[in-house]
Structure 1
Amino acid sequence: MDVLLKHTSQLGDGELRELRELLDRAFDGDFSDEDFEHALGGMHALVREGGELVAHGSVVQRRVLHGGRALRTGYVEAVAVRADRRRRGLGGRVMDALEGVIERAYVLGALSASADGARLYEGRGWAAWGGRIGALSPAGPVRLPDEEGSTYVWLPPGGVLEDPGGRLDFDWRDADVL
């Protein structure tokens, strides 16, 4: 089983349907249209077994304001492994591929983790952001306290943040600010 990297533009309609089905099943139906939209527009790490999609993750570009700078950030979305293939290292293989993309193209990696997912990310060197989290909404910056403690960051080798406890303000996307 190899991990294949493809841009969203390289995924056909059938692959997108297959991807959505995997995500719906992996997240027990708790994967919204907005969640799916957030996972598109970047690079996808796809793992197939016997021709079937069994694991996925994507990284999309977002801008994050931090310490007066707009950081080009690779935001990890929709990491999922089919239920009958979990605990076999597939999530780690997906993350290897996505971290490689982040290392080559971004200043910072970020993601929002569930309690279950946090174990995978922490074991790979991702750390929960200790400062405040916000978004640049149409009405201006707003704090997102529900994202604090579940937003994780990863610095590519040699990467440094000026204020590792400061506020991170992410670009706004539909459904981020309610």
Structure 2
Amino acid sequence: MMFAKMLTAALLALTVENVLFAGGAGFSRALRAARRPASAGFYALFVTVFSLCSGLTGYLLSPLFSSRYQIYPAAIAAAAAVLYLLAAALLRTAVPSFFEKYSSILAQAAVNTVVLAVPFLREMCSFGLAETIGFSLGTGAAFFLAVLLLEQALRICSNPDMPRAFSGLPGVLIYIGILSMVFAGLSGSVF
């Protein structure tokens, strides 16, 4: 039963996060990750870990701030900062060469808009522990899928036979716009 709840929440995250992505949330960070394909997997892994930590932090802090909801966002942001500092310190001491290579994407992943949104989506959907874990893992998977789509779009839109006006970023934006309409149509969203 618990695994089924986790899987359902992960599938929900795949659809919700891609609809959020289609609306522009996290687009610039995913585009940066897609431009460096060698680090895209680590970026998605960091987003997954921080989403999980953010979701669990929201799960644990939610009962403490139920009557003072205006403090909840500040507590989540402070927890994200502390988690980043702990992860950076751990990686810097345990594997300094890895930290040196990936420290810039570690910081970006920790404060990603998707990561910071997980506790609020968890609160809105009234997720329990299993759903929180599943949704957080699905969030990382959705980010990875978005990066793969952007990486493919960058490759396609860098074709030398393409008209110069649509080559590169303009072509990618059109490509993503069309994908956004597909996700919105499948989710039933109205613009």
TM-score, structure 2 normalization = 0.26
Structure with higher Rg: it is: 2
Higher-helix-fraction structure: 2
* Bigger relative contact order, structure 1 or 2 (CA pairs below 8 A, ≥6 apart): 2
TM-score, structure 1 normalization = 0.27
